[in-house]
Amino acid sequence: MQCNLWFIRFNLDDDCRHLAIGNNKGEVRVWDIIGGDGDRDGARREYLLKYKDAKTCVRMPRFSGDGDLIATVSDGGRVLVYDFKKGREIGAGGV
């Protein structure tokens, strides 16, 4: 068995409702892990966030205190910020 991905961290928001995890495609997947009535009324349960130029592994996502933003750290030291509630990218920076 061969593995080229040794670690990825996940993060829960402060309400323990949303779980975020990165992958080796430069994406962040977020799940609403509470469920409930939203399943019947068409509410989304999974979200895919991808910054337009992201091509390296997202090692660590982190929700802001209010749960609106997600900051991620990728291979190469790149930091990306998403507005999770509005579903859009905010900016990027790096070391």
Return the domain boundaries, the chain. Answer: 10-94
Amino acid 54: pLDDT: 74
Overall fold of domain 10-94: Thrombin, subunit H (2.40.10)
pLDDT band at 4 (very low <50, low <70, confident <90, very high): low
pLDDT exceeds 80 at position 58: yes
Q: Over range 69-95, report the average pLDDT.
A: 85
C-beta contacts of 66-69 below 8 A and 24+ residues apart: 66/14, 67/13, 67/14, 67/15, 67/17, 67/18
Local confidence band at 86 (pLDDT 50, 70, 90 cut-offs): confident
pLDDT of 52 above 60: yes
